[in-house]
Structure formats: structure tokens, C-alpha cells
Amino acid sequence: MMHTETLKIFCDIVEWNSFVKAGEKNLLSQSAVSQQLAQLELAYKCQLLDRKRKPFRLTTAGELFYNAAKDILETLEKFDNDLDSLRKAATSRINVAAIYSIGMHSLPPYIKTFMAKYPDTNVHVEYLSSREIYELVLRETIDIGLIAVPSKNRYLQIYHFADEPLVLVCSPEHPLAKKSKIAIHQLQLQKFIGFEEGIPTRTLIDTILSLYNVRVQKVMEFDNIETVKRAVEIDAGVSILPQTAIGQEVTNGTLRAIPFSNEKFVRPTGIIVRKGRILSQPAQYFLELLRKRIS
């Protein structure tokens, strides 16, 4: 088996035209350099240097070997440089995917805290559907995913993130807007704006309504929380949403959030990471931040 060190020593002999200088460059004695050359010539059963001449010269076989050795060493050097760049890029960027409500309303304080410790690391956040996040985390395109109502997967490590209180959301002009609390039964046959089928939060809300035998009139369905909020703002119907995602609208007075009196309904959210994935040090720190929960 040929070692790259041997190739380098041979190239140094040729380029310095000296066994002594090649040895000095590689921290070897002149005798050790001569032995390396002898092993090469024995392995390839040919003479690589004509040592009868002063100074010595490459034989025809030696020229072939020198050119091949240079190509190999240059290719390996380029590979090392490219690999180093790849490693640096991996540690200078964290790829995070979150459903829109978590990414917009829950992530910012974590990113702010993270940047104080790792100012040179870019936290790249994509807003995607739960289905897309599961897929990209499994493919290891994404380092960390944040989803609602996490479902078990044997290839994923799932950490608890937060239980988000669910509240009734309506326009300030809606008849229910003046209530300080509301029983879920009072939603019976109300015009309701919800999420499209297949979205985990939709499944959770449908389960809650079914548990209390409440039937609503589903007048609109959307695939994201922002559009749901806009429809509620124009009083097209009421909805049930995570309280964490409507803070700005409540503050601005465009939406009313009313807690339920029956029980505290919550939407569980989770952090997902591919099992066995080795995270960079910054990514591991970011994951620990998420698990600790910033107030």
C-alpha cells in the first residue's frame, strides 16, 4: 500500500534535487530518504532515478511516477481544502425548520440568545408544513425541526418544546367578544374558520370539539395561521388558536382572545432531530436552548 508521505518524499527529492534537503523538509535522515526511494523502486520493479549521473536525473519511468505522484498529491490537497471548507460551513450555519406560528412567534428570543454566544453563526430558518419538516429532518437536510402535536417516529428524537394554551379567537365585533370566559359548548353551530385537513393542529381541534359533542359550521379552511387570523379579523367566523400566536393582534385590538372555562386546552409542540445525527457545537447549543425554554 502506497502512503502519501512516500509520494511527497519522492517529489521533494526531485524538486530539491537533493536527498539531504528532502530529508530536512520531511524530518528524516538522508539514509531514511534513500530507503523510501529503494522501497518505491522495489515495489514498481524499475529504476526511478539515475544516480550514476551527477546530479542524478529522473528515468523515463521516474518521470511517469513523478507526474502521477504530483497529480495525486494535488488532488488530495484540494480534497482536504474542500473538506475543511465544508466543515467550516457546517459549523457556521444551523438549518432550522419550523411551522409558521412557532417560527414567527416563539423562535425570535432563542435566536437572539444564541447570537449573543455565536455571533458568527447563521441560524437559517425555513417556515414549512409539518409534513415537510418531518421529511427534511429525516433526510438530514434540516438540523432541527419545530412542529405542533409531534407524532412518534423510530428514526427521530423528539423533545418537548411547549404546551401552548388554546383560546377562542374572534373579532371585537363578534357577539362573543365581550365574554371573559367561554364554555366550549357555546361554539355549537358557530361559523368556524379552521385549518385544512391533514394539519396536526386541525386534527387536535377536531378531537376537542368531538369530545364535547360540539358541531361548528366550517366556513373557511386555510393551511396557515396568518390567513386564519385575517379571516377572523373581518368577522367571517370564530376560530380556536394558540394564544402565543395572536399576541400582536390582541395588543392592537384587532382580535379578542377568550379562554375556555371547561378546561385548559393546549397544543403540544416539539423539537425533532434525526436519531444518530451529530450536530455541530453551535447546533447542539441551540438545541439545548430550545429544550431549556426561555421565559
Contact 262, 212 (CB under 8 A): yes
- Tell me: the pLDDT tens digits for 179-208? 999 999 999 999 999 999 999 999 999 999
Reported as a pLDDT band with limits 50, 70 and 90, residue 78 is confident
**How high is the pLDDT of residue 125?**
95
Question: Would the pTM of this model clear 0.85, i.e. be above it?
Answer: no
**How high is the pLDDT of residue 80?**
82
Helix or strand (DSSP H, E) at 258: strand 256-258
Q: Which residues, 6+ apart, have CB-to-CB distance to 82 below 8 Å?
A: none
Reported as a pLDDT band with limits 50, 70 and 90, residue 89 is low
The CATH number assigned to the domain with range 92-158+273-292 reads: 3.40.190.10
Nearest to 124 by CA among 282, 295, 288, 272: 282
Partnered with residue 267 across adjacent β-strands are: 164
Q: How far is Cα 36 from Cα 41, in angstroms, rounded to an integer?
A: 9
**What CATH architecture does domain 4-90 belong to?**
Orthogonal Bundle (1.10)
Partnered with residue 144 across adjacent β-strands are: 96
Residues carrying CATH 3.40.190.10, the chain = 92-158+273-292, 162-267
- Tell me: the pLDDT tens digits for 136-180? 999 999 999 999 999 999 999 999 999 999 999 999 999 999 999
Residue range 162-267 forms a domain whose CATH class is: alpha beta
Reported as a pLDDT band with limits 50, 70 and 90, residue 87 is low
